[in-house]
Amino acid sequence: MMTRRQFLAGSGAAVLGAALVTRAQAASLPEAPIRTQAMTQQPLVPPDGRPYQPVVTLNGWSLPWRVKDGWKEFHLVAEPVKREIAPGMVANLWGYNGQSPGPTIECVEGDKVRIFVTNKLPEHTTIHWHGVLLPNGMDGVGGLTQPHIPAGKTYVYEFVMKHSGTFMYHPHADEMVQMAMGMMGFIVVHPKDPNLYRVDRDFVFLINAFDIDPGSYTPKVNTMLDFNLWCWNSRVFPGIDPLVVRKGDRVRIRMGNLTMTNHPIHIHGHNFSVTCTDGGWVKKSARWPETTVDMPVGALRAFEFVADAPGDWAFHCHKSHHVMNAMGHGVPTMIGVDQRGVAEKINKLLPDYMAMGERGMAEMGGMEMPLPDNTLPMMTGQGPFGPIEMGGMFTVVKIREGLSRDDYKDPGWYRHPEGSVAYEWKGALPAS
């Protein structure tokens, strides 16, 4: 198999802006590291340049760079990838450097950034740097501000990061297909002063969605609204890692929405303030407490809270259909319908048939039933007290005492102090 180094060295004419470069220049490109595992990686501590507190990409990683002649150089490779959506399901997607979404790009306000983009897709592409203030010719809109990047070619984008904040990248070429296939990534620009807006833990993820038929592997790119997999960083519960936090930490969670609808993102046990958008930092005088933030389409939000309550706290989209997997939107409501006679007749033809829904759908969370290959249950996940009955955009913020500063390992389920869990009442009930 050809390596990326061989591919770049042998591709001959890579493209610099709109001009060709030599073979020697192509061979001098920075490495394009890849990662295919879907676990959350440790934060990338900056090896050089201005210091900053690195972020943690949920079920992802940050892209290494090199410094050359005063420029911080990154290398993205747009390519087909395989992404585990959750254990038991893999999707054929498009992404960057082995994953969808691509790696997070971290830099510092004032950095001169040079980003090489090699196109290994079967069609042309571009990259738009969403929310970043830059020269018009670097904005990445194919046909308008630049030529498209042909398959097999490399373009380079050069600009100065003028202000800190929370941003993302995605194509502006065959956008409906390429974004529906998973092409996107996060950008974090840290302040020059590492103590400005400082937090103890800084998490990032993108909100995306796919429509993948049960038993299949490739998204239906023409779907507009009826998606059946609602994801954070191309993962669904129970495949979304927990956010592990030390009690007392100040926590920032940054999110970007690249789906076709809004998402009310809700956290349990704490309130927070929205502190940053893709337009910049929010002044303290303009902030207010919330437990839910609405994520508009194409927008980014960062919120902050102090993790002062230990426990396993749910963190999810508050649209109930977005915390389920592989939903069949045309399934009729059967609540209150006696299906016993029908089930007996159908069982003579289909021995494995199961009548469901006459008492609600909670039974789906605990039962093991046959599914098509490469398909996830609608409601799944086991907790310390039984089925969690969730899917999609759901995970847990795990707040614990005694963690070290850089400990992001899953600490397991929370051990509740005696007498602090809801319990069955066995006494007399009040008269009705």
Quote the radius of gyration of the chain (alpha carbons, Å): 24
Residue of 360, 425, 423 whose CA lies nearest to 389? 360
The length of the chain in residues reads 432
H helix intervals, 111-270? 175-180
> How much is the pLDDT for 238?
95
Residues 158 and 137: their CA atoms lie apart, in Å, by 10
User: In Å, how far are 179, 245, 313, 336, 388 from 310, measured between CA atoms?
Assistant: 38, 9, 8, 41, 19
> How much is the pLDDT for 431?
83
User: Do the beta carbons of residue 123 and residue 174 sit within 8 Å?
Assistant: yes
Burial 185-200 (b: 16+ CB within 10 A, else e): bbbbbbbeeeeebebe
> How much is the pLDDT for 372?
86
What the block records as the tokens of 413 is 């389920």
Beta bridge partners of 273: 289, 304
Whether the link from the prior residue into 238 is cis, omega within 30° of 0, is: yes
Residues 326 and 227: their CA atoms lie apart, in Å, by 9
What single string gives the DSSP state of each residue in 207-244? EEEE---TT--S--TT-SS--SEEEETTB-BTSSPPEE
* 10-residue mean pLDDT series, the chain (432 residues): 39 37 66 95 95 97 97 98 96 98 98 98 98 98 98 98 97 96 98 96 98 94 92 97 98 98 98 96 96 98 98 97 76 62 68 58 55 86 92 97 95 97 93 78
> How much is the pLDDT for 132?
98
Residues 25 and 36: their CA atoms lie apart, in Å, by 28
What the block records as the tokens of 253 is 């969670």
Give the distance from CA 272 to its chain's centroid: 20
> How much is the pLDDT for 379?
83
> How much is the pLDDT for 371?
75
What the block records as the tokens of 383 is 């907790």
